[in-house]
Amino acid sequence: MTQFPEDIYTEPSNVDVDTLRNLGPLRGMAGIWEGPRGLDVKPKAEGPKKQVYVEHIELQPIDPQTNGPQLFYGLRYHTHVVKPDQVKTYHDQVGYWLWEPSTSTVIHTLTIPRAQIVMAVGKASADAKQFELVATHDSGCFGIRSAPFLEYAFKTVEFRIKVTVSSDGTWSYDEDTVLIIRGKPDPFHHTDRNTLIKIGEPTPNPLARK
């Protein structure tokens, strides 16, 4: 039995054009943020290496999105990461955070310029202050796709991110990317975590500005 309606074309009639009012658990993430004390634990030939980093991330509301009867509200984001006191990019990432009110579903998409994409999913209430999303390599819908070299040398089999929106106006994430590294007997947990401090408010989405 499918969870979807027979009518796959008719769009919902109750769309609110103001995305910021309809982001559910993502509302506390909207805006421009900096995280000066990130920590990355990554694989190197000699073993795990810890690296601190500085992060700038913008999360801006997009107009409501529909797939026939399905309705999403969301944030488009760009993350730029450098090592302390350096200019060269350490990590760059773009994607969307999406909220589907009718199913209490959060979706996180990410693309990085090392030829890899991920789409993770989780459930949360509209007023949740903490939620976790997961993507696995073998998932038919919410999964992980990498270019051939990464599949050969650093195969990502699971991605997990836990988000916490705090009462002090900050939000934080804790990521665990599980890798199968060529020549290593055990999976490697590539972890990242940071706390983001707001430095700018979000810009209302185009429909709301009209």
**H and E: helices and strands count for the chain:** 2, 11
Q: Has residue 1 got a pLDDT over 50? A: no
> Burial code of 152-173, b = ≥16 C-beta within 10 A, e = fewer?
eebbbebbbbbbbbeeeeebbb
Asked if 171 and 26 count as a contact pair (C-beta separation under 8 A), the reply is no
Q: Has residue 34 got a pLDDT over 50? A: yes
pLDDT tens string 111-122: 999 999 999 999
Burial (CB count <10 Å: 0-12, 13-18, 19+), residue 25: buried
